[in-house]
Chains A and B, each alone.
Chain A
Amino acid sequence: MGTEWWDVEELDELPVLLELIKVKKTYVIGKRKLEVIRDVSFKMYDGEFIAILGPSGCGKSTLLRIIAGLEKPTSGQILFMNKPIEGISPRIAMVFQSPALLPWLTALENVSLVLEARGMDKKTSMEIARRYLSLVGLAGFENSYPRELSGGMKQRVSIARALAVSPQLLLLDEAFSQLDPLTAESLRSEILDLWRMGVAGIRGIILVTHAVDEAVFMTDRIIVLSSRPTTVVKEVVIDLPRPRNRRSKRFLEILDEVYEYIS
């Protein structure tokens, strides 16, 4: 099946969507300094779905928050479509580890809120929100409150919310880690379907995870990070066609390879 094998040099020819250059992050707590990210640089190409993989507490979520503009790096630069990111970009959306749904708003209102926040009028934003809710399989649950939804459904609302703002880059921060294995699995395939269908004009996805299997199953390339203070250990390209078979020989080989870098 080597037809889709691209090596790293060849990838360099593609337009770059996102580039991290020597990103560092050090927290100062009182007099103590905590170095979380020592030096991370990588490129992400247009149309790529990558994973940032690392052991628990290695600062990978911090890295994602920096990309999202929620936090500032201590030093280094982040280029999005060749322009430095300053603060929050409206073209980047994020799905958090917990669904972060407001308990006082319905599913529909939770989604439409972010559209209204971008200056859209109420009626249009409701319409768009409804469309995205049905896209993630929640038609009929528009008027349910978060407490009436299961964990998987809540995370779906959160995904609908991220898609609704038509981002060009979608960030998934351990988006499946708080779900039960079955729900997580079906949500994974749904994300992959949405990605393949090219919904909402997304040009790239970054998945932060500590589950090696998840990263190999879903993404085109894995950036393996070391434990704190974080540096890039290795980039692994996953040359498997989709849908992927978890039991194929090549899958297991890649899995072993990644496990070696991570431990």
Chain B
Amino acid sequence: MQMVIMVSIEIWIYAIEATIFTNIRLFLAYMISLVFSLTVGIAAALNERLGKIIIPILDILQSVPILGFFPVAIYLLVAVFPDRIGVELASIFLIFTSQAWNITFGVYQSALTIPSEFKDLAKAYGIKGLKYVTRIVIPSTFHSLIYNSMMAWAGGWFFVTACEMISMGEFNIVLPGLGSFILMSAYKGDFYKLAIGLVMMLTSIILVNLLIWNPLLEKAEEYREVARSITSPTITVVSTSFLIDFLSAIYSKIDDRLHQLISKIPRETWNRILSKAMLILKMIMVGVIIAVVFLGVFCISKAFPTIIEFFFSMNFTLYLYNALTGTALTLFRIIVAYIISVGWILAVCILVENRSKLFAYSIIIGEVLASIPATIWYPAFIILIEKYGVDPNIASILIILTGMQWYIFFNVMGGVKGIPLHFRQVARLYNIRGRLYVSKIILPGILPFLVTGSISGWGGAWNTTILAEYITTGKDVIYIHGIGGLISRAANLGDVGGLFFYIMWMSIFIVLFNKLIWSRLYKVISEKYLAEL
């Protein structure tokens, strides 16, 4: 009896340790994402020339299947750094790539749409440079920053499990963390440990939500002065104003120090430093470009025979045939998952849109559910498919759903909250109810957000197919034919040529799909329905 208790305490301690590791990984990745999105997003918004370069690049990065590039990142980083550090860096990099683009776009959008009265104010009173950024731009982007950070944090949990257990051909590595803890327990069928792992995960998600994101979101709501339909959508269980005070004190300290530092430097010296820095930056850029070109030429010329050989050994007809049929099947699965997502999300949205408590709870529940990584269902799906003869397509669609629906959910919920108060008042005043209310007021109000969410959701779905069409727990493997499955299988079998071909195929397909369908749809819808707030 005593033995059992001892063991269980050890398990708990181990689980807590794992939770801390995973949270540290998430935190580091998030910090990098935060710095990245603030600098890049604001730079792109304030400098039109920079924006023209940055935004298309981000657009492509956002639509490319990150999970597909993960093996490449690991190969590279492990080659440069010692094993463990290399894999740790690769995992942080992967989480970063799952978070940064969304937050950056949010920051960019809100920095572009700073109210004109604030711009006038800044101009009329000569608030410019660093002061303009720290006092006007960053606070203006705060709401979008926090809202997207919440989503990114949930997305981070989704990806963290994928990078704590890595198996590529003979290369197998397990990083200590909650993701690997949960997956190992699931694969071994140790339900006690699995439960502990899940409890730890849910607890840390809920705690982070209640202690950090909710108070910050509440603060962010105050920063937006526009009359909103639901005044207080957040739940405060624990008062954490000390946290906000602490953070804002740090912010203004940094702000002050920066200004002091800059004001100490005489203007002329400052200008000289700036122009010197720009010159050095330009020289570095030219240097890097020359180095890359040289290196590229050198590598290609050196490896040319091998590349040619490799190129001819690639079975293009097979790859092409696989990619074509796979893409068609994957597209079908994604469409089914999309229809399911939009259906239930609209239903929930209409149900809670006018009930602020329910609204707040559904956000938190969504937040928790969104964080549960798809891969923990693998063992269950394998049993269902192999023992009970369930169609693997269903399992695949369900996993795609987990990687798709939450982007749509959070965007639509954000959108319904943004429907101007006077629209609802008009509806109440003239007794517009039921189907008319939904079709004439709610749906048009959320349509632009539905499209934005759908774009992210489809990106998430493509990415998730890499997990959803190749279900493995180490020994059992179920391959479901599709473009994502092809990538996973190629990575697992060490088929570098195939991996390269399928990733490129998928990336190009997604970019084209976005350009031809989603961008156009978004343009049409946002022009017609985006309400003047």
Known: A70-B123, A117-B127, A119-B263. A103 touches B223 (CB 8 A): yes
Over the window 100-124 of chain A, the binary record of Cβ atoms lying under 8 Å from chain B Cβ atoms (1 yes, 0 no) is: 1011110000000110111100100
B79 at the interface (CB under 8 A from A): no
How many angstroms between the C-alpha atoms of A96 and B128 in the bound complex? Answer: 19
Chain A binder among B4-12, B135-143, B271-279, B408-416: B135-143
Residues of A within 8 Å of B123, CB to CB, are: 69-70, 88
Point out the residue from B124, B225, B256 that lies within 8 Å of A70, measured CB to CB: B124
Residues of B within 8 Å of A240, CB to CB, are: none
* Docked-complex contact B126 and A88, CB < 8 angstroms: yes
Over the window 222-248 of chain B, the binary record of Cβ atoms lying under 8 Å from chain A Cβ atoms (1 yes, 0 no) is: 111100000000000000000000000
A98 at the interface (CB under 8 A from B): yes
B424 at the interface (CB under 8 A from A): no
* Docked-complex contact B224 and A103, CB < 8 angstroms: yes
* Docked-complex contact A122 and B256, CB < 8 angstroms: yes
User: Which of chain A's residues has its CB closest to B122's CB?
Assistant: A117
* Docked-complex contact B124 and A102, CB < 8 angstroms: no
Chain A binder among B46-54, B113-121, B425-433, B487-495: B113-121
How many angstroms between the C-alpha atoms of A102 and B224 in the bound complex? Answer: 10
* Docked-complex contact A114 and B127, CB < 8 angstroms: yes
Residues of B within 8 Å of A119, CB to CB, are: 263
Residues of A within 8 Å of B126, CB to CB, are: 88, 90, 114, 117-118
The interface centre, meaning the residue of B120, B224, B259, B263 with most chain A CB atoms within 10 A of its CB, is: B120
* Docked-complex contact A116 and B131, CB < 8 angstroms: yes
Point out the residue from B127, B135, B222 that lies within 8 Å of A147, measured CB to CB: B222
Point out the residue from A69, A90, A96 that lies within 8 Å of B117, measured CB to CB: A96
B388 at the interface (CB under 8 A from A): no
* Docked-complex contact A100 and B135, CB < 8 angstroms: no
* Docked-complex contact A103 and B117, CB < 8 angstroms: no
* Docked-complex contact B121 and A105, CB < 8 angstroms: no
Residues of B within 8 Å of A88, CB to CB, are: 123-124, 126
* Docked-complex contact A146 and B121, CB < 8 angstroms: no
A163 at the interface (CB under 8 A from B): no
Residues of A within 8 Å of B312, CB to CB, are: none
How many angstroms between the C-alpha atoms of A147 and B222 in the bound complex? Answer: 8
Query: Which of A117-136 touch B at CB < 8 Å?
Result: 117-119, 122
Residues of A within 8 Å of B120, CB to CB, are: 65, 70, 96, 100
* Docked-complex contact B121 and A96, CB < 8 angstroms: yes
A165 at the interface (CB under 8 A from B): yes
How many angstroms between the C-alpha atoms of A124 and B438 in the bound complex? Answer: 55
B125 at the interface (CB under 8 A from A): yes
A157 at the interface (CB under 8 A from B): no
How many angstroms between the C-alpha atoms of A225 and B432 in the bound complex? Answer: 44
Over the window 431-465 of chain B, the binary record of Cβ atoms lying under 8 Å from chain A Cβ atoms (1 yes, 0 no) is: 00000000000000000000000000000000000
How many angstroms between the C-alpha atoms of A93 and B126 in the bound complex? Answer: 11
Known: A70-B124, A114-B127, A117-B125. A145 touches B118 (CB 8 A): no
* Docked-complex contact A117 and B131, CB < 8 angstroms: yes
A160 at the interface (CB under 8 A from B): no
Number of interface residues of B (CB under 8 A): 22
* Docked-complex contact A103 and B225, CB < 8 angstroms: yes
* Docked-complex contact B223 and A117, CB < 8 angstroms: no
* Docked-complex contact B222 and A102, CB < 8 angstroms: no
Residues of A within 8 Å of B259, CB to CB, are: 116
How many angstroms between the C-alpha atoms of A70 and B128 in the bound complex? Answer: 14
Interface size band for A? 20 to 34
Residues of B within 8 Å of A116, CB to CB, are: 131, 259
Task: Quote the shortest CB–CB distance from A90 to chain B (angstroms).
Answer: 7
User: Which of chain A's residues has its CB closest to B124's CB?
Assistant: A94
How many angstroms between the C-alpha atoms of A65 and B121 in the bound complex? Answer: 11
* Docked-complex contact B139 and A102, CB < 8 angstroms: yes
How many angstroms between the C-alpha atoms of A104 and B120 in the bound complex? Answer: 17
How many angstroms between the C-alpha atoms of A93 and B121 in the bound complex? Answer: 10
Residues of A within 8 Å of B136, CB to CB, are: 102
Residues of B within 8 Å of A147, CB to CB, are: 222, 225
Over the window 72-96 of chain A, the binary record of Cβ atoms lying under 8 Å from chain B Cβ atoms (1 yes, 0 no) is: 0000000000000000101001101
* Docked-complex contact B118 and A102, CB < 8 angstroms: yes
Point out the residue from B117, B222, B256 that lies within 8 Å of A145, measured CB to CB: B222
How many angstroms between the C-alpha atoms of A153 and B107 in the bound complex? Answer: 31
* Docked-complex contact B124 and A105, CB < 8 angstroms: no
Query: Which of B202-230 touch A at CB < 8 Å?
Result: 222-225
A23 at the interface (CB under 8 A from B): no
Query: Which of B466-511 touch A at CB < 8 Å?
Result: none
User: Which of chain B's residues has its CB closest to A148's CB?
Assistant: B222
User: Which of chain B's residues has its CB closest to A146's CB?
Assistant: B225
How many angstroms between the C-alpha atoms of A215 and B478 in the bound complex? Answer: 81
Known: A96-B117, A103-B225. A113 touches B124 (CB 8 A): no
Over the window 97-125 of chain B, the binary record of Cβ atoms lying under 8 Å from chain A Cβ atoms (1 yes, 0 no) is: 00000000000000000000110110111
How many angstroms between the C-alpha atoms of A232 and B121 in the bound complex? Answer: 28
How many angstroms between the C-alpha atoms of A120 and B123 in the bound complex? Answer: 18
* Docked-complex contact A98 and B117, CB < 8 angstroms: yes
A53 at the interface (CB under 8 A from B): no
Task: Quote the shortest CB–CB distance from B385 to chain A (angstroms).
Answer: 53
A63 at the interface (CB under 8 A from B): no
Query: Which of B123-166 touch A at CB < 8 Å?
Result: 123-128, 131, 135-136, 139, 142
Query: Which of A33-63 touch B at CB < 8 Å?
Result: none
A223 at the interface (CB under 8 A from B): no
Task: Quote the shortest CB–CB distance from A221 to chain B (angstroms).
Answer: 24
Residues of B within 8 Å of A145, CB to CB, are: 222
* Docked-complex contact B117 and A100, CB < 8 angstroms: yes
A68 at the interface (CB under 8 A from B): yes
Residues of A within 8 Å of B118, CB to CB, are: 100, 102
Task: Quote the shortest CB–CB distance from B505 to chain A (angstroms).
Answer: 41
Residues of B within 8 Å of A102, CB to CB, are: 118, 121, 135-136, 139
User: Which of chain A's residues has its CB closest to B135's CB?
Assistant: A113
Q: Given A117-B131, A119-B263, output 11 extra A-B contacts at Cβ < 8 Å.
A: A65-B120, A70-B120, A88-B126, A98-B117, A100-B117, A104-B142, A104-B223, A113-B125, A116-B259, A118-B126, A165-B125
- By a beta-carbon cutoff of 8 Å, the part of chain B in contact with chain A is 117-118, 120-121, 123-128, 131, 135-136, 139, 142, 222-225, 256, 259, 263
